[in-house]
Structure 1
Amino acid sequence: MLFGKLLPREGNFFDMFNQHAERIVEAARAFSQLVANYNDQHLRDRYNLDVDNAERAADRVTHEVNRTLHKTFITPIDREQIHSLINTMDDVADLIQDAAETMALYDVQHMTEEITRLTDLSLKCCERVQDAVKLLARIADPAVAEAALKTCEEIDRLEGDADRVLRSAMSKLFREEVDVRELIKLKAIYELLEGVTDRCEDVANHIEGIILENS
């Protein structure tokens, strides 16, 4: 009994998941503002910095989760589930930063309707991820588990919408863009933004698995 009391137990994993989800949404909202204000160089630089800061903060949370996981003997959910969930969430933040950096490195001069639509869908996906993560600590309640699963289904639908926008954007790009350099730039950005929704769907799949195994 004494041995059991001395073992490090649980940790604040759900709190850290929530902190990371907040950073994801911060990055997504900053990127959305970057796109909306792209013609203003001052605002562009400001929102690029905001994306970077949010991604670095998300990295710190990820490192803390993994560090705590190594020190904790008894965890609230399966250890592999914790590891997979936080690292997949971190992929979301990384891709948002990658998209912002790519636009700067490629010296993209203007935003397209497709970038705006994919950005909007990415932001909505990130917000739904935050909603689902908030419910994880209470999934023993069947009503909460059901709400989380419905939120995950919404993420899946948003990812499907982004996939359709990407296919349409690629078709238009290869039919209408005559500047090969511009085509390469936009193709990369479209794929990165759709990739954000893909990773959000991966997070949703992890959450669904956690719910099914633990609720």
Structure 2
Amino acid sequence: MFNKKPDKITAYLVDFAKHLSEATDYFLTFKVKDDNTLQEFALTMKQYETEADEKVHGILQHLNHVFITPIEREDIMQLTMNLDDLIDGMEEFTALMDIHQIYSSDKYIDQFTDYIQKCSKEISLALELFADSNLKDMEKHAIQIKDYESKCDDLYRNSMKGLFQNEANPIKVIQYKEIYETLEQIADDYEDVANIMQSIIMKNA
């Protein structure tokens, strides 16, 4: 299945995972204080998203020029697109923060972003194993991502319940509902990555 020498596709995917990890670290740790820092946050995440699009293009272009791939082309393409969806989701979240002019986080957003960062680290670890042809040990990372996603499901229900019970301003309800839904969708996208990783393991291990 794998060539003995390093494969460019696996190197591309590991690089993509590192880019995702850098983006989520920034996503989690950057502190918005005012309009200027909010714009900086949104613009930086947009740059991460643009760079991710370029990586997708590089992977797909390489696929068009190689005959032998380490795993099925369809799986490579699906994994690549799923990874791209993650950064797209984070960029969408920051755009919403900018549109709604929200300068502070809350306990639900903090918990969501913490799980998002943890999921990204699991992806990095899994794809490093993939690059080493160690598919067997990837499974535990896919399972851990699904566990974090399940916790995000609970968190989403609690966030919506708290929003409708405690927020009297209807505009704020609409704004935060959209934000929580976006964060929940990001968690779902991480589960999609875990699913394709498990599919790759089943086909190739």
The offset of 1:135, in angstroms, is 1.2
Residue type matched to 2:111 in 1?
Answer: R
Of residues 31, 40, 47, the one that matches 2:41 is 47
Distance 1:11 1:199, change over 3 A: same
**Contact between 2:38 and 2:103, CA under 8 Å: does it hold in 1?**
no
The offset of 1:92, in angstroms, is 0.5
Partner of 2:18: 22
Residue type matched to 2:46 in 1?
Answer: D
Distance 1:69 1:11, change over 3 A: farther
Instruction: Say whether residues 1:33 and 2:29 are aligned partners.
Output: yes
Residue type matched to 1:70 in 2?
Answer: N
User: Number of residue pairs matched?
Assistant: 200
Q: Which has the larger radius of gyration?
A: 1
Of residues 104, 112, 122, the one that matches 1:110 is 104
Identity of aligned residues (%): 28
**Contact between 2:18 and 2:124, CA under 8 Å: does it hold in 1?**
yes
The offset of 1:52, in angstroms, is 1.9
Instruction: Say whether residues 1:148 and 2:138 are aligned partners.
Output: yes
Partner of 1:138: 132
Which digits, 9 at most, give the CA deviation of each residue in 1:82-121, with x for residues without a partner?
1111001100010011001111011124321111111111
Measure the CA separation in 2 of the matches of 1:101 and 1:33: 17
Of residues 69, 77, 99, the one that matches 1:75 is 69
Root-mean-square deviation (Å): 1.6
Measure the CA separation in 1 of the matches of 2:49 and 2:128: 19
Of residues 133, 145, 160, the one that matches 1:170 is 160
Instruction: Provide the TM-score with structure 2 as the length reference.
Output: 0.91
Instruction: Say whether residues 1:62 and 2:76 are aligned partners.
Output: no
Partner of 2:3: none
Task: Compare 51-60 and 152-161 and name the one that shifted more.
Answer: 51-60
The offset of 1:50, in angstroms, is 2.7
Gaps of 5+ in 1: 1-9
Instruction: Provide the TM-score with structure 1 as the length reference.
Output: 0.87
The offset of 1:201, in angstroms, is 1.1
Gaps of 5+ in 2: 1-5
Task: Compare 104-113 and 38-47 and name the one that shifted more.
Answer: 38-47
Which digits, 9 at most, give the CA deviation of each residue in 1:145-179, with x for residues without a partner?
33210011100000011110010000111111111
Task: Compare 157-166 and 37-46 and name the one that shifted more.
Answer: 37-46
The offset of 1:39, in angstroms, is 2.0
Runs of 4+ in 1 over 6 A off after TM superposition: none
SS at match of 1:71: coil
The offset of 1:41, in angstroms, is 4.5
Measure the CA separation in 1 of the matches of 2:131 and 2:202: 14
Residue type matched to 2:47 in 1?
Answer: N
Residue type matched to 1:51 in 2?
Answer: M
SS at match of 1:74: coil
